[in-house]
Structure 1
Amino acid sequence: MEGEQSVDLIRVQLRKQRALAGMNQEEFGKRTNYSASTVSAVETGTRPVDLPYARRADEILETGGLFESLLRTAQQDAQPAWFMPWLKAERAAKQLRYFNPTLIPGLFQTENYARTVLRFDDTCPEQEIEQQVAARMERQEILRRERPPQIFAVIDEAALRRANAIMAEQLAHLVREAELPHVHIHIIPARAGLHVGLDGPLLLAMLPDGTWIGHLDSQLGGESADTDEKVIKLLGRWEGVRTVALPEDLSLDLIKEVESQHGPQ
């Protein structure tokens, strides 16, 4: 609720600052390279405020990064408390490790895939889902920072083969991300059979001082794993899933093969 109120405040301020600058929605759209209908949708709440829009508004309205700052704060407020320790670790990490036996990790999800996953909670209002999608996309900025973390991801082949109209787009995106020099994606082939990772997903972050923090997702949310005992256990589980995964080149070949089977985008 707090995050939703913050986003509403951003919309009010966007309308106010645009009006103070003497621009109607059409004029503002031309200056920002958005259509008048998009400007209207953002200001009325039928389209989420995302970082590109906030940054362009800051530039045109000369607000010194105000809207980007407000949006980042709103996105943080919208995150559940149990996820905040992981978000902080993810932003600071020098190395990240992700494993998921059922889904594409959030750091590599497209908007359409993320939206579909977040709609698993059919009681969540659409506006809140769109805020969560925008926040998930914002997390992905670490992939293209000037000094990005080294990222390893292990994904079960089953996650690639979910029959859905959005999967061709998602897999094409995964291929592009896998080609980044600091991103290393490994697939556990179906022929591996039962393996230790089937117990559930795990996330690990190595911080600048060399310490590790882990995170575990569940149906009820998630929890941090920051004690030595828990981290050592998760590192052991990571080695277990990494051992049964394919090398990078064969993993990329498998992703492309499955992508071709999902048909045209």
Structure 2
Amino acid sequence: MEGEPTAELIRAQLRRLRMNAELSQEEFGKLVHFSGSQVSAVELGQRPLDRFFLKRADEVLGTGGLLTSLLKLAERDGQPSWFRPWLETERQAQQLRCYQPSLVPGLLQTENYARAIIRTDAMLGDDEVEKRLAVRMDRQSILTQPNLTTFVAVMDELVLRRADESFRGLMSQQIAHLIECVERSKVSVHIVPAEVSLHVGLAGPFSLARGSDGGWVGYLENQLGGAVIDKEDDLAVLLSRWESVRSEALPRGRSVDLMKEVMTSWS
């Protein structure tokens, strides 16, 4: 991300704002709890952009959150090219639907759960894990946007019960968060009970987004990336499979009862 145009824009804006405030790098560093040399390294691109640093810079320089907002854009720019179209579709959607057979959907993950999932990829260093985590958490802001009217998530009961002794505290927090999300009028979570041993959704996760024009767009995930689906015939298949999976899931209230039962069973 550090070499991309948006990241360069952040550094240029930081330098301009600091100089307009008539602050040397040393003076500015004291205000944001960094050394003058660290401020210089950030401005020159020799040090990665840091959320805490930019948040403090916004406060000190009175930018109204400009620098942290630009950082979010830079992080989106740093996403793989195959994922960016879906991010844009997701942000503009009026309705969202998501089925996950093995994980809590990203839009409903807690920070701790998301970090644990991202860290399972041994090829990622700590910095990259935190960058991906930041993007995932930022994506969740769409749940409060006025254009989104409904988000319906369906997942298998196995997702809730996949927790050994060391993971149960984190998973309890995650399930409690799911229950809190259901209390929002636009979020609905439905669980496919374990006794439904076979159903069409087990072929893999998928998401659907409906835009303001009434048209649908789909998204399929795999081990190497993902693909946006916009062909009419393919969308018809996904919409049919959604109806099939959704019909196997418990109603909203019974899904919440099952989530509570899972947490109670651990204690």
Normalised by the length of structure 2, the TM-score is 0.82
Structure 1 residues 123 and 245: CA distance shift in structure 2, 3 A: same
2:115 is matched with 115
Q: Quick one: which amino acid aligns to residue 182 of structure 2?
A: A
SS of residue in 2 equivalent to 1:122: coil
Of residues 230, 235, 245 in structure 2, which corresponds to 1:231?
235
Give, in angstroms, the shift of residue 142 of structure 1.
1.0
Structure 1 unaligned residues grouped into runs of 5+: 30-35
Q: Quick one: which amino acid aligns to residue 130 of structure 2?
A: E
Between the aligned partners of 2:260 and 2:3, the Cα distance in structure 1 is 38
Of residues 241, 246, 251 in structure 1, which corresponds to 2:245?
241
Give, in angstroms, the shift of residue 147 of structure 1.
4.3
Q: Is the 8 A contact 1:113 1:170 kept in 2?
A: yes
Structure 2 unaligned residues grouped into runs of 5+: none
Aligned-residue sequence identity (percent) comes to 46
Of residues 158, 179, 187 in structure 2, which corresponds to 1:175?
179
Structure 1 residues 151 and 123: CA distance shift in structure 2, 3 A: same
2:195 is matched with 191
1:77 is matched with 77
Give, in angstroms, the shift of residue 116 of structure 1.
1.3
Which deviates more, 14-23 or 53-62? 14-23
Q: Is the 8 A contact 1:110 1:170 kept in 2?
A: yes
Structure 1 residues 121 and 237: CA distance shift in structure 2, 3 A: same
SS of residue in 2 equivalent to 1:128: helix
SS of residue in 2 equivalent to 1:190: coil
2:255 is matched with 251
Give, in angstroms, the shift of residue 247 of structure 1.
0.2
Give, in angstroms, the shift of residue 262 of structure 1.
4.3
Q: Is the 8 A contact 2:153 2:188 kept in 1?
A: yes
Which deviates more, 237-246 or 56-65? 56-65
2:51 is matched with 49
Give, in angstroms, the shift of residue 69 of structure 1.
3.6
* Correspondences of 1:113-192 after superposition (within 5 Å): 113-163=113-163, 164-165=167-168, 166-192=170-196
Structure 1 residues 48 and 170: CA distance shift in structure 2, 3 A: farther
Q: Is the 8 A contact 1:3 1:74 kept in 2?
A: no
Q: Quick one: which amino acid aligns to residue 89 of structure 1?
A: T
Which deviates more, 156-165 or 195-204? 156-165
Structure 1 residues 48 and 254: CA distance shift in structure 2, 3 A: farther
Structure 1 residues 168 and 211: CA distance shift in structure 2, 3 A: same
* Correspondences of 1:19-38 after superposition (within 5 Å): 22=23, 27-28=31-32
Q: Quick one: which amino acid aligns to residue 243 of structure 1?
A: S
Q: Is the 8 A contact 1:100 1:155 kept in 2?
A: yes
Which structure has the larger Rg? 2
Which deviates more, 247-256 or 142-151? 142-151
Q: Is the 8 A contact 1:78 1:132 kept in 2?
A: no
Q: Is the 8 A contact 2:55 2:65 kept in 1?
A: yes
Structure 1 residues 152 and 179: CA distance shift in structure 2, 3 A: same
Instruction: Show CA shifts across 1:176-213 (max 9, x none).
Output: 11110111110001011111111010100000000000
Correspondence 1:217 to 2:221: yes
Which deviates more, 156-165 or 88-97? 156-165
Q: Quick one: which amino acid aligns to residue 173 of structure 1?
A: H
1:32 is matched with none
Give, in angstroms, the shift of residue 173 of structure 1.
1.0
Q: Is the 8 A contact 1:90 1:96 kept in 2?
A: yes
Question: How many residue pairs are counted as aligned between the two chains?
Answer: 252
Q: Quick one: which amino acid aligns to residue 63 of structure 2?
A: T
Between the aligned partners of 1:94 and 1:106, the Cα distance in structure 2 is 18
Q: Is the 8 A contact 1:108 1:140 kept in 2?
A: yes
Structure 1 residues 47 and 73: CA distance shift in structure 2, 3 A: closer
Q: Is the 8 A contact 1:48 1:131 kept in 2?
A: no
Q: Is the 8 A contact 2:90 2:96 kept in 1?
A: yes
Structure 1 residues 70 and 115: CA distance shift in structure 2, 3 A: same
